[in-house]
Structure 1
Amino acid sequence: MDSQLLPALLLLLLLAASGPRGQGTGSREASGNSPEQVPEGIPEEDGILVLNGSTLCLALQAHRALLVEFYAPWCGHCKALAPEYSKAATLLAAETVKAMLAKVDGPAEPELTQEFGVTEYPTLKFFRDGNRTHPEDYTGPREAEGIVKWLRRRLGPSASQLEDEAGTQALIDAHDLVVIGFFRDLQGEDVATFLALAQDALDLTFGFTDQPQLFQKFGITKDTVVLFKKFDEGRADFPVDELGLDQGDLSRFLLTHSMHLVTEFNSHTSPKIFAARILNHLLLFINQTLTSHRELVEGFREAAPPFRGQVLFVVVDVDADNDHVLQYFGMKAQEAPTLRFVNIETTTKYAPAGGAPVTKATVSTFCHSVLNAEIKPYRLSQEVPPDWDQRPVKTLVGKNFEQVVFDETKNVFVKFYAPWCTHCKEMAPAWEALAEKYSDHPDIIIAELDATANELEAFAVHGFPTLKYFPAGPDKKVIEYKSARDLETFSKFLDNGGELPMEDTAEEPQAPFPETVNSTEAPKEEL
């Protein structure tokens, strides 16, 4: 071989051995690449692996448990999650059962987002034992302690196995809510169902046992799941029937019985109130600064037990930061003390007749009258403004809605909006321009209705803005508009009698409805 080629060949061999970023492979082999170490060649930020299409495989090989966040640099929800995600990485470093956090810039890695079905940001996927084909969707909280707890429940035991009375009593005494499964056979399917539920019920502490002395101590004669709590009746039993333990039934039981008979509404309890999946809510509005109001809570609580699981009893302090709740019911603080009943699925609301005092008897009577359909619901409506039809955009309220939109001689195009909705504000100029353009058409009315202050019998409005067209005629026909929100497309729609030409029928994504009272889902942004 030509001696002049030797230096070049040696240089190439050295470069090949050095690995990415000039780091040698020798240290990686010496360390054995343990699961707690970052594989060489993968960048790391604040204890979080920064992955791409090339390095994901390395990370999966190196870590038994890997939680990956798919984010977008422009996503506000991702930015809000970032400090909690970094804090979670720090907390995980001290955990006995190890897991690693990672992140992927979704828009920069379209092949990965497509592979894992990522359609919104942030999306988190949990990979276990290097399995790339079936990651689990992360369903836990978006704060550091919750992220760590979610991972801990999956990687360690989700429930403690209890062997004696002392350990069992210590567990019960240490927590406000403890769920203990009493099972004769710990190898049965019911135990697997119990442990699977424990993985996700992060607000509860779980234990299980097969010890006869514990069955005897707590008066258990058959397989039973018991919720021990430091309030109300202190304990609730869920016997396992002959068909076996149903995870859905047990989950509903625990959600229902882990709630206080009476819950005070605030920012901490509101997610739990709506997660309880009890559709009927009875609200007592009081001013907590007044002794006479606080004394009413006892009678309210005494009425609650027979309705457990059917009606959720809630106290709302009108002197606290609950103006949005008062607005939702069309109330003023001066009306307290008073009751309101609402079905949160249909948003149907009820108020007691007259000015009866709040007692155990009146609360029970009011509940029964609603549940037995003996009382009519009420719907919010503003008063009709004197100048409602003087501007190009007409103002509708609940009290004049049907009279206007079902006028057989008029074609009425209505925008249902919320005053705080940014999407509504963005389209307002186009709506005003549309009204100006058709102001000389006597058979066309462009109108708007504040759907947060006016409720309609004909239908409920679930998103803002919602646009509906009511064509002239006796049929009371309603056409929902779902295309582009600009003057040109609006005009084509009107000129074509409530339809768009084929080339203009592409649907525009609708804004989500951030419900004032019962929004609990973690926010995400669509791709």
Structure 2
Amino acid sequence: MGLKQVVSICFTILTLAEKHGCQNARFDNVDYTKLDLMSPNVAVASMDNGVPLITGDTLAKEVSRNDILLIMCYVPWDPKYQAKIKNFETVAKLVLANTEDAMLAKLDMAAEPVAARAVEVQPPELQFILYFRGAAYNVDEFPNAKALAAMVKKLSQKNFEVPQLPYGEIPIKNLSKPDFDKVTNHKEFSLVIFYLPGSSAGERLLYSFELGIHKIKKDKRFGYYKFDATDKPDTLQRFGITKLPALKMFRKGKVFDYRGPKVNPEGITQYLTWHAREPYTEMSHPDDLEKFLKEHGERATVVGFFASKTLSKFQDFVDVAQDYRDEHNFILMPTPMVSQKGSTDEPVQAPGWTLAVILPKRWRTPDDEKKAVLHQEDASYEMIKDFVRWKTTPLAGERTFENAKSLYSLRPLVVAYAKIDWSKTGKKDTEYYRDKVAHAAKDHKDTLFAICNSDNFTQEMERFGFNLDPKYDIHVGILGKDGEYYPRWDTAHMSSKMISEFVNQYKAGEVKPFFRSKSKQQDDPNVLELSSDTFNSKILHSDSHALVLFYHPLSRNWWTAEQSLRALAKDPEFRRRDVIFAQIDASNNDLPSDISLSTYPSIALIPKDNKDNMINYPGELFEEHMVRHFLFEELGKLHKSKPKTEL
């Protein structure tokens, strides 16, 4: 049986399951061994729950052996991975059992760093990489198993070919360093992709953008370029680029971040077409504005009234509009006609400029301004930007996954979690919660407030330590400027006054951050078992060097790291050199925000004389001799760096 037939059966199973109302759990009782399908009995190196695992040793083999190889690149503690893995495994098992030239496999980026480096993916972000007849492509996340099966079915068509550009077409041109400023300053709009030639990640990104840009109508005012970043650290530093490949947009030389799609060519086409246009919509009559507000009432609208585009502040308006066009509507209108005092002459256009911000009706509470106005001839660009940022944000707007990193990236941020439901049955309760938070926010104009749908932010609520008992209809906490989580104790029917008082207490330094803290029983006298509560006292406030293992029980190779740590802890040489050894379970303990780890396990040396300078073990393998070499080397450096008076 061919792959096409196998996936058709898979697709039918998924469709029938969905038709009968089954959701994610619909595959739990499927006995794949009893499906009427022929099994080629394919041999694979290693499996996890019936799905092949990609390793550094098997990657090249599986790429060459399979016409279709779809790899889920993940870390096992990632909630997004945990939400998708069951559906992925369902389709993967069906494909594996019934075809010899296709495979859905998993790559644990933490446990298989060699393979992750070869594929050019980095933890902790969940990613999907498709190898089709040996060539690598980025793939969008699938919403459910049916969508995944549909994609595999499409790939399995006999005459399927990946989309290619017309022969000879080059939608993305090379941009050299000497020409960089000349080109980006001249073009009204340009996109630059910074990449390294030969990089798989760079080539995958370029492919998606080539297909997307190919569909954009040609216009000499716009340009799309790729920049070879090899040995050009000064250029990367100039634009704040720390990771490649990277994207930046330019308007007459001014740089802006690219925040659009990076995989789907259609999404790329739409995003770049939208951004190549002016960041505002031009109107001339108040009736046009009124109609626009009725049709686009879900977002805040910024209206710039300008007597002329030659005014110096007009370019500031355009730049601010470009910064926030993904979040808000921007309208350009002429200043109104006014009669001259004491004159019978025809009305004339008012001079100067004015900005007005109109909040969407849904988020306009009794405590919000219906319209905010800025009219100050000498206003600076930063003043205009701050005005737009603050006035477009309601006293209690809704924070979502989509706007959390843009509109609600300021800290501190007061967040209230409640059931958000704008349907007819839930609208009244939602407005009640919104108004309650807004009433508290009006007393704290220097602090940003937001409400969040508690159904969508359960992990963040757990990080705050909230009691999720339904009797608590609203939970309030503060995402601190220091990166920590400051919860207000749960109270049934919390009032606006309670919320406001809690914010005052935070500002006065009277609220302590919350850390989940739980240590397991110490079973090795040479290795401390730490919790969040004891990390400070036993490590940061100790008079010794500390070698600490940060681990997660779901990590496949943390046990190797632990055995190495225990072996080193027995060495009397390290006791003589004043080193203590410890480990902490990151699944049960929250670490201080200044300790940032992208993967587990991680090992770090914390020097006794400089606790803020944590030295991370750079190795990918945790064999004892490797960690030993690292520890000896770093202790030697610390000894040499001491002032002579201390030697």
TM-score range, shorter chain: 0.5 to 0.7
Task: Call closer, same or farther: CA 1:44–1:184 in 2, change over 3 Å.
Answer: same
Query: Letter of the aligned partner of 2:560 in structure 1?
Result: P
Query: Residues of 1 paired with 2:212 and 2:225: CA distance?
Result: 13
Counterpart mapping for 1:100-499 below 5 A: 100-103=223-226, 106=228, 110=230, 117=236, 120-124=243-247, 137=255, 139-143=257-261, 153=275, 156-176=277-297, 177-184=300-307, 186-203=309-326, 204-213=328-337, 223-231=353-361, 232=364, 233=368, 235-242=370-377, 244-275=378-409, 277-286=410-419, 296-317=433-454, 320-331=455-466, 333-334=468-469, 336-353=472-489, 355=491, 357-373=493-509, 375-385=510-520, 387-390=521-524, 393-405=527-539, 411-416=545-550, 429-430=560-561, 432-441=563-572, 443=575, 444-451=579-586, 453-455=588-590, 460-464=594-598, 465=602, 467-471=604-608, 479-482=613-616, 484-485=618-619, 487-488=624-625, 490-492=627-629, 494-495=631-632, 498-499=635-636
**C-alpha displacement of 1:180:** 1.5
Counterpart of 2:358, as a letter, is F
Three-state SS of the structure 1 residue aligned to 2:475 is strand
Contact 2:605 2:615 survives alignment (8 Å): yes
**Partner SS state of residue 307, structure 1:** coil
Q: CA RMSD in A?
A: 4.7
Aligned residues, how many? 433
CA distance in structure 1 between the aligned counterparts of 2:286 and 2:541, rounded to whole angstroms: 75
Q: Which moved more, 1:74-83 or 1:352-361?
A: 74-83
Change (3 A) 1:488 1:502: farther
Letter aligned with residue 382 of structure 1 = S
Q: TM-score, normalised by structure 2?
A: 0.55
> Does the aligned pair in 1 maintain the 2:359–2:394 contact within 8 Å?
no
**Normalising to structure 1: TM-score of the pair?**
0.65
Does structure 1 conserve the Cα–Cα contact (< 8 Å) formed by 2:519 and 2:585?
no
Please say if residues 516 and 590 of structure 2, whose CA atoms lie closer than 8 Å, have aligned partners that are also in contact. Answer: yes
Whole-angstrom distance in 1 between the partners of 2:634 and 2:603? 19
Work out whether 1:99 is the aligned partner of 2:222.
yes
2:356 maps to a residue whose letter is: V
Gap change, CA 1:353 and 1:503, over 3 Å in 2? closer
Q: Deviation string for 1:75-132 (max 9, x for gaps)?
A: 5486367436523431x22x7776354546x48xx47x67954763223356789xxx
Q: What is the CA distance between 1:478 and its match in structure 2? A: 6.0
Task: Tell me what 1:70 maps to.
Answer: 194
Indicate if the aligned counterparts of 1:125 and 1:138 stay in contact, CA closer than 8 A. yes
**Equivalents in 2 of 1:497, 1:223: separation in Å?**
61
| Whole-angstrom CA distance in 2 between matches of 1:81 and 1:246 | 38
Give per-residue Cα distances to partners, 1:239-273, cap 9 Å, x unaligned. 2335x232222223222332343344433332344
Tell me the residue number matched to 2:212.
87
> Once the two structures are superposed, what CA deviation does each residue of 1:59-81 show, in whole Å capped at 9, x if it has no partner?
x79x9665342345545486367
Question: For 2:494 and 2:507, how far apart are their aligned partners in 1?
Answer: 18
* One-letter code aligned to 2:569: Y
Q: Which has the higher contact order (CA 8 A, sep 6+)?
A: 1
Structure 1: gaps (5+ residues): 1-41, 130-134, 505-527
> C-alpha distance in 2, partners of 1:354/1:197?
40
Q: Whole-Å Cα distance in 2 between the matches of residues 432 and 286 of structure 1? A: 46
Instruction: Give the aligned residue type for 2:594.
Output: A
Which segments of 5 or more consecutive residues in structure 2 lack a partner in the other structure?
Answer: 1-164, 341-349, 642-647
> Larger Rg: 1 or 2?
1
> Does the 8 Å CA contact 1:263/1:314 hold for their aligned counterparts?
yes
Q: Identical aligned pairs, as a percentage?
A: 14
